[in-house]
Structure 1
């Protein structure tokens, strides 16, 4: 149905362009015509990889299928309805062996960093294997009854968002056992820019495994191609990789995620601010966990009340059972009305550090891993401005941009 709708709209666009080309009236008409065309193009739906079953079902039939999935792994229907990919494939008589779950679990209900265990999915009866806890990488035993692996998880395009690390380890484990991997691509809501410091090898971790900037401007399918092409898997091994591409998508497409990618990213604003505000996870400042505006506010009890006109009190809630500064009044900033960013904003981190009364306790040991570099903390402590810090990222971003270009499926 979506494909037919898309075809109809393309025909409409062709009709509009043809009609306009035959009209040689005024500049006013041209402006009006452009507005009409823009509105039609805007209304063309992006079709995710999971919806394009005709492109991958033949690779699954008669096979024992493993699926890396969470609550975002759905096939969309009409009227904003959807069905989970696992449920849909079961109805199509695809034999699913087990589900591999990333951070937050298969149903996406666990806190950030919460230990996830293996188990049985109550809704399907399928065995689930946690890839966030004791095992980051599927073992040979986990994969012994898997002929092909499907990866379908919504990413947000930020290096420290751990789904790309899960992707890496799945590709690596499957490559070692010669199991093909099919990535069903999804849009990147932060795909319109690249920014941030490049990862340094000495701070490599599960929140940063690859030499990429914090915001890398690629879909998860493109990123998988880069992992493979740059031979980042152990010993340079490469995976038998298929990417089922998106339709009607560019890196500048507007796309609000219809399903929360994780409990503490509740809306488009939080997803857009996440690359800038997640730095606070490596400090003693709250970025809103334990409120309803996670990653849209920041504050701490020790920041001076007189410097801010906003305050909040974190309390346990869905996705934050024990939030930082629980039950304490925090002073800071409300960023819920911030216009969409096309770069990382360091001003909030710099401001909070400059106003902290005990600067030696501001950063914690996690900060260099989040930043992907030891330099950023030093630069802030030395009093460098955001512009001066950003200038130090330029050469790394240029080099990465050249690498990235080789793997882009969309412009």
Structure 2
């Protein structure tokens, strides 16, 4: 009797195990190929550098895994004549807006030339010493992030000097968002040089193509441009930056909030410079403005003299906020609260606000008390036109 009962049980167990195995096969997890940056594809661009004198526009993000691009190319025998340093410097240790000085790279002995400060582009005389310039810097996809302005000026200098430019492309961590007013040329500046929205949805390689294609360079010149695209990437993909792109964007959360909180640079309010969580908090020395407390401190290399230094600020902690894109709600809410608590608008630097926005429309709408949806309606037509234009220059699908 025992044997008769066991046999059917074993048959059923075998059937169940077989079915479970089949189910596991059917629901096998798809392996997503690893994103490979342009810089990592040395076999693709070394032929362009053969027997050429090379200049590089790079910073601390210009890495091939654990090795800096400059060190890698020198080891491969590439003749690097000079390094060009953007905002924050070659190693990314300078404060935002701080003057970047010429220097010598102690690791390689190569001369470093600053292109942030008085001279934003190399002189024709300097470029006579090279045949090609490499651009390899991690961007965060915002019009007012100045690395793309440095790229523009380098493209312009190369075009006018008859030099090639090689862009080693990298993903855009905000590449899934396209939002904000398209720049009004009246508000063109180093924090906004192109007729693109605040969140432009392009990699630096795609933007370089647009700059050429739309003839945005001085005298409508064209740069002799070569791009090494990113492998296994599209704009819908999240991308966690392996190295912080600048001292005050230390993590994914700061990069997520940067497009929305940068407007507070035109206010007396702190957004966390001088703390361990820059671009992740909002605060001011008035307890009516929130319950979260923090005190900005001098932080060498990130904020030597931060807004509201050594003052206890009250506000809100945004480190757990999940919503990215361009949110005007923070600015609108703080403008309302600031008027109640301090008796005035939160915007204290009108010109700077307009340069960050690329228009005066946002500031004027804020003064009228317009809602976020009302403000965004005003830039919809320009944004729709930009989205159509953008399609011509895409290297990756959305």
TM-score by length of 1: 0.88
How many angstroms apart in 2 are the aligned matches of 1:243 and 1:362?
A: 40
CA contact (8 A) 1:313 1:328 kept: yes
How many angstroms apart in 2 are the aligned matches of 1:284 and 1:192?
A: 31
Partner residue, 1:60: 49
Q: How does 1:7-406 map onto structure 2 within 5 Å?
A: 29=23, 33=26, 36-37=29-30, 40-41=31-32, 44-76=33-65, 82-302=66-286, 305-317=287-299, 318-341=301-324, 343-356=325-338, 357-360=342-345, 362-364=347-349, 365-406=351-392
What is the deviation of 1:105? 0.2
Given the alignment of the two structures, is residue 407 of structure 1 paired with residue 393 of structure 2, yes or no? yes
What is the deviation of 1:74? 1.1
Partner residue, 1:12: none
What is the deviation of 1:255? 1.2
Structure 2 vs 1, CA of residues 34 and 183 (structure 1 numbering), >3 Å: closer, same or farther?
farther
How many angstroms apart in 1 are the aligned matches of 2:96 and 2:199?
A: 20
The structure with the largest alpha-carbon Rg is 2
How many angstroms apart in 1 are the aligned matches of 2:395 and 2:346?
A: 44
What is the deviation of 1:363? 2.6
Where 1:149 maps in the other structure, the secondary structure is strand
Moved over 6 A (4+): none
How many angstroms apart in 2 are the aligned matches of 1:407 and 1:56?
A: 21
Where 1:58 maps in the other structure, the secondary structure is helix
- Describe the superposition over 1:79-135 as per-residue Cα deviations: whole angstroms up to 9, x where unpaired: xxx100000000011100000011000000000000111121122111111111111
CA contact (8 A) 2:334 2:346 kept: no
How many angstroms apart in 2 are the aligned matches of 1:115 and 1:333?
A: 32
CA contact (8 A) 1:269 1:340 kept: no
Where 2:125 maps in the other structure, the secondary structure is coil
How many angstroms apart in 1 are the aligned matches of 2:241 and 2:134?
A: 21
Structure 2 vs 1, CA of residues 65 and 115 (structure 1 numbering), >3 Å: closer, same or farther?
same
What is the deviation of 1:340? 3.9
CA contact (8 A) 1:104 1:111 kept: yes
Structure 2 vs 1, CA of residues 168 and 34 (structure 1 numbering), >3 Å: closer, same or farther?
farther
How many angstroms apart in 2 are the aligned matches of 1:83 and 1:358?
A: 53
Partner residue, 1:10: none
How many angstroms apart in 1 are the aligned matches of 2:363 and 2:26?
A: 51
Where 1:321 maps in the other structure, the secondary structure is coil
How many angstroms apart in 2 are the aligned matches of 1:398 and 1:34?
A: 40
TM-score by length of 2: 0.91
- Segments of structure 2 that go 5 or more residues without pairing to the other structure are 1-18
- Describe the superposition over 1:175-207 as per-residue Cα deviations: whole angstroms up to 9, x where unpaired: 011101000000100001100111111111000
CA contact (8 A) 1:172 1:233 kept: yes
How many angstroms apart in 2 are the aligned matches of 1:203 and 1:47?
A: 36
What is the deviation of 1:359? 2.0
What is the deviation of 1:316? 0.7
What is the deviation of 1:362? 3.0
CA contact (8 A) 1:158 1:275 kept: yes
- Describe the superposition over 1:43-68 as per-residue Cα deviations: whole angstroms up to 9, x where unpaired: x2100001111111011111100000
What is the deviation of 1:213? 0.3
